[in-house]
Chain A
Amino acid sequence: MLTEQVVADDSLRAVPGGIAFDVRIPWYRSLPYSCVEGLDVTIDGQAVDPSKLQIELGGQDYRLTDLPPLHERWWYVADAAAVTVPLDEPPAAGEHELDVTLSMRIPYIIESEVPLVMRERCIKTQTLSEGAR
């Protein structure tokens, strides 16, 4: 659902020590942080170790492993979450391919006691206007 929205348009930017982009919740409604089941990021064909990703939700930075217990914090459907990818080398200006899969547990679609997990893969090429500061 809303697959094409996972990577927010024109959101790729250089940040100290890496690059960042925004992700959007690929569902029609808000879900708590605990429903984030996975985030896989590949940049220019290089898979990023998920434990290195930093995700900013509601003004706070998290690692993916921080999220499962947070079932009372809500990712509002209209809000973007900033994902920061640390890079050893400063990113080059120009085009980069973002291949992002965001997996969300849908907490009310439960068949045979197994909640549905939607895995939405979105691939977008975005331009980094300048390299790392």
Chain B
Amino acid sequence: MSSLPSTGVTLYSFTPDFHAGRYTLDQLFERAAELNMGPGLEVIGFQSIRDFPNITPEFEKHFKGLLERHGFEPTCLDCNADRAVRSDRMLSEDELYEYLAAQLRTAQRLGFPTARMQWAAPLPVMERLVPLAEQLDVRMGVEIHAPETVDSPWVLAQREWHAKHQSPYLGFTIDFGSVTTQVSPTMYQAFREKGVNEELFPVFDERWHALDGQQFSAHEQMGNFIQLAHQYGAGDHAINMSVFAVGIHGHGKPRMWLEIMDQIVHVHAKFFYVDEDGNEPAVPVAEQVQALVDGGYDGYISSEYEGWHWDLHSDAFDQVAREQKIIRSVLQSK
């Protein structure tokens, strides 16, 4: 029998607490350990680390000390492919290579076995990073994030590359938000509380479901949703609502992950809200974990709470604990 995946958490789940200064990085480690959210621990470089990707030897030592003290295993360092970092032009492929190589080296220094990459870095850049990733022994996982699926054009191109090269150093990080059954009801509730016209929600919902099973341009759909929201007077909320609906609620199915199972290097168990009875109305968490288990995935499943975008009532720590209960119940039934 193959071994099972391990649970873990990304500190991104606690963004509002960190952003507001309620918790420092050290305090987040402490709280996550108290709540038994490990063994895996993931951070976003540009969030948790000042001056990232530059780190001092003191920070390196401090960070490793935090992991050790709290009994965490480093899982994934999230890197960003900031191709539009300059105001005057896009970065060239050479510049983007260097930009990402620096982050990959930092991942290695901090002990992370994998690095989340982003498809804003095109395949030729990612290919060029493979020898460095091999040398550092850090596996790169380009994130498949809503509204992308395993069939999105860039994903297919990378799958083809993998079929030819079979390198374990260039695979995918998958995000559970690529597979949702509806826009989170808590999102509508939040915009209702902000005074958005009630009549918009069913129309918005219908428009979202019309995309089920379709290949579409995210950019174009974002524009369509924004326009629709404006028609109903959503004003300043139009862009956020549309970015959330199109950009973090995907239309994939849980079993689609089986098609790329041998290329999954890391998993973001994205979710928006788990109620007191353990139900997540938008993200089929248990089904996706089940698909991973069935496919023999034995890496980390990193809980990623993202309801905080709109839900100002729920406690992020409580939410992660609830999601991990779902994940563990699937794993324990094996």
Contact = CB atoms under 8 A, between A and B. Distances in A.
Most B CB contacts (10 A, CB to CB) among A77, A118, A119 go to A77
Interface residues of B, number: 36
A111 B218 contact: yes
Interface footprint category on A: 35 or more
Nearest to B312: A4
Given A2-B16, A78-B18, A112-B219, A118 B84 contact: no
Contacts of B15: 2, 28
A107 B85 contact: yes
- Residue in B46, B239, B309 whose Cβ sees the most chain A Cβ within 10 Å: B46
Nearest to A67: B87
Contact of A24 (B19, B44, B118): B19
Contacts of A86: none
Contacts of A68: 87-88
Interface in A1-47: 1-5, 24, 28-32, 34-35
12 contacts: A4-B312, A28-B19, A29-B47, A30-B47, A31-B46, A32-B85, A76-B50, A77-B19, A77-B47, A108-B81, A111-B218, A112-B219
B204 interface: no
Interface of B: 12, 15-16, 18-21, 44, 46-47, 50-52, 80-88, 90, 118, 120, 217-219, 222, 236, 239-240, 243, 247, 309, 312
Contacts of A3: 240
B19 A5 contact: yes
A109 B309 CA distance: 17
B83 A108 contact: yes
B46 A30 contact: yes
Nearest to A36: B87
A28 B120 contact: no
Contacts of A63: none
